[in-house]
Amino acid sequence: MDNLDGRMLYSQSRVVLVLLFAICSLLAVKFTTRTSDEKERARAHVILTSIHKLQQNHHALFGTYLSSRRANTSDVLKWDDVPGRFRYAVETDYGTYSARATADLDGDGQREVWHVDPSNPIPVRLHPD
């Protein structure tokens, strides 16, 4: 009888371990994979953070911010070559700057807008898509 109980316990524990492994695998896949929209947002976040660092460094060296509208910055700010669906623009005004990333991710005509400026160094989503 003891041998039969040991086999049953072993069999049940194997089933529990297999189920636990399956649940952990599903959770790992769910929380480590990103949708294409999440990848686009992550890319926009990285690019806006880079823009902020570039602006801070340029301001520290030259006392001005770079604008995507000025013709003399086209060799530094190449916005048309940035991969992804977000489009970027930097505006300068009265000793400050504002950088925005906009995209219509789901094609409904509403644009998602992310923003960074000297007082908000971490990109903030102003309008969801």
Query: Domain range holding 104?
Result: 36-127
* Predicted pLDDT at 105: 86
Tell me the pTM. 0.70
Quick one: 85 and 103 in the same domain?
yes
Quick one: 10 and 58 in the same domain?
no
Confidence of residue 68 (pLDDT cuts 50, 70, 90): confident
Quick one: 57 and 91 in the same domain?
yes
Quick one: 103 and 79 in the same domain?
yes
Find the DSSP H helices in the chain. 2-32, 36-62
Q: How wide is the angle at C-alpha 57 spanned by C-alphas 41 and 95, nearest 5°?
A: 90
| Number of domains within the chain | 2
The span from the CA of 51 to the CA of 125, in Å, is: 16
Tokens describing residue 19: 């189920």
